[in-house]
Amino acid sequence: MIEGLQEMLKRDFNITFKDVDLLDAAFTHASYVNETPERKKKLKYYERIEFLGDAVMQLCVSEYIYEHYPEMPEGKMSRLRAAMVRADSFSKFAIECHFNEYIRLGKGEEKGNARQRPSLLCDIFESFIGALYLDQGKDEVVRFISKVIFPKLELGWFDHMMDNKTELQEVLQQNGECKIKYNEVNVTGPDNERVYTMNVVVNNEVMGEGTGRTKKAAEQMAAYQALKKLRK
């Protein structure tokens, strides 16, 4: 049993796990299991639970956005969701919840400062969500993230992450230099109701097209389509 973890969850979030082994597994890194060979077959680590937690978070966040922003178009909903479920967002939430203090790590990883590593913190946040879902169901997960994440949405925490053009550039440049260009494809409507269609061309190939009331909005949509294509 991980010392203090249950007490902290009870005190800070009023959460009491039925299956304590599941909770422990959610906070246990493979490196810890690898160092306790005699218990190896019994001890579980977080990776599979994190896989489930990732999908639970996607749904809870999607449902929240769907319900609370009834007029928001799909493109913007997707950008907002992507901003909220980013690894760097989750790693901040993990620290805020003090989850980092309870992770079980192998000695080598501990020395390598894994406890501060954003990707591990993100994993632990997701695996906690997965365990909470398995132990108590979706409503309890929603209650937890209504405390930890949703208030930050209203405070505008995620607004600056919703720039698709920047994101597209970052993704493409991971594979080396490339030429990204936005072109006007079409303009329709009267003066006060212009609709612009822009496309984004990467190394002479059209990667996405979008429409909007301003050129900038249309470019953002085009970049969003290109990102969607890259992720397919």
Active site residues: 54, 126
Does 37 bind a second copy (CB under 8 A)? Our answer is no
Does 63 bind a second copy (CB under 8 A)? Our answer is yes
Does 73 bind a second copy (CB under 8 A)? Our answer is yes
Using CA atoms, how far apart are residues 55 and 75, in angstroms rounded to an integer? Answer: 20
Q: Residue 202's beta-bridge partner residues?
A: 180, 205
Nearer to a second copy among residue 213 and residue 229 (C-beta):
229
**Residues 6+ away with beta carbon under 8 Å from 25:** 43, 44, 45, 46, 49, 127, 131
Is 126 annotated as contributing to ligand binding? yes
Nearer to a second copy among residue 8 and residue 22 (C-beta):
22
Backbone dihedral angles phi then psi of residue 201, each to the nearest 5 degrees = -115, 125
Is 191 annotated as contributing to ligand binding? no
- Least Å distance, CB 77 to a second copy, is 5
Q: Please choose, out of 67-75, 108-116, 156-164, 187-195, the segment that lies near a second copy by the rule CB under 8 A.
A: 67-75
Q: How far apart are the first and last CA of the chain?
A: 41
Structure tokens, 158: 């995620």
Interacting residue with a second copy among 12, 19, 47, 96 (CB under 8 A): 47
Q: Where are the alpha helices (DSSP H) in 174-214?
A: none
Structure tokens, 1: 């049993």
Is 123 annotated as contributing to ligand binding? yes
Using CA atoms, how far apart are residues 20 and 194, in angstroms rounded to an integer? Answer: 59
The contact set with a second copy (CB under 8 A) reads 47-48, 50-52, 54-56, 58-59, 61-63, 65-66, 72-74, 77-78, 81, 86-87, 138, 171-172, 174-176, 178, 202-203, 229-232
| Residues that constitute the known binding site | 50, 123, 126
| Residues that constitute the known binding site for Mg(2+) | 50, 123, 126
